[in-house]
Amino acid sequence: MSAIAAGFPSQTLPLMPGAAALATSFDASASPAVASIVASNSKASAAEMLDYYTKTLTAQGFTAVPNASASSSASSAIAAAGTLVRDFVRSNGSETAAITVVTANGQAVATVGVSVAPASLK
């Protein structure tokens, strides 16, 4: 049984090649619509997964949000713990996306979520 739900917007949040979907969720009836995917990859590093999903989101018009200086110590602590985090916005901030990648049991595990206009989910 696939962990990707029927109707999941896989063009918006594609499964990284070589990765396995652990879970998906989406609600296109809400405004903003929300979708998320949790995927693991034993052959890619956490940085490679972050890069893949960063490219996927920026290709859709999202812009990475710079880390705020007030949270730089928190960002450093998160990075030191092996967690990679990147936030994105588009449509003047009305649409958002986030990527979090951790390494667990020798596998990179990414959680990627979007909160977008319902028509944006594809």
- For 95-109, write each residue's pLDDT tens digit: 999 999 999 888 999
Residue 76 has pLDDT above 60, yes or no: no
pTM above 0.85, yes or no: yes
Selected residue with higher pLDDT from 71 and 53: 53
Q: Is residue 11 part of a domain?
A: no
- From residue 18, alpha-carbon distances to 13, 45, 107 in Å are 15, 12, 12
Contact in structure between 85 and 102 (CB atoms under 8 Å): no
Within 8 A by CB and 6+ apart from 77, the residues are: none
Cα–Cα distance measured from residue 31 to residue 40, given in angstroms and rounded to the nearest whole number: 29
Residue 56 has what pLDDT? 97
Q: Is residue 85 part of a domain?
A: yes
Cα–Cα distance measured from residue 92 to residue 115, given in angstroms and rounded to the nearest whole number: 13
Q: Is residue 25 part of a domain?
A: yes
Residue 69 has pLDDT above 60, yes or no: no
Q: Is residue 101 part of a domain?
A: yes
Q: Is residue 73 part of a domain?
A: yes
* % of the chain at pLDDT higher than 90: 69
Selected residue with higher pLDDT from 105 and 15: 15
Q: How many domains are contained in the chain?
A: 1
Q: What CATH number is given to the structural domain containing 96?
A: 3.30.310
Q: Is residue 69 part of a domain?
A: yes
Q: pLDDT band at 9, cuts 50/70/90?
A: very high
User: For 105-117, what is the mean pLDDT?
Assistant: 94
Per residue in 46-55, pLDDT (tens digit) is: 999 999 999 9
Q: Is residue 6 part of a domain?
A: no
Within 8 A by CB and 6+ apart from 119, the residues are: none
Its domain, for residue 51, covers 20-120
Q: How far is CA 82 from the centre of its chain?
A: 16
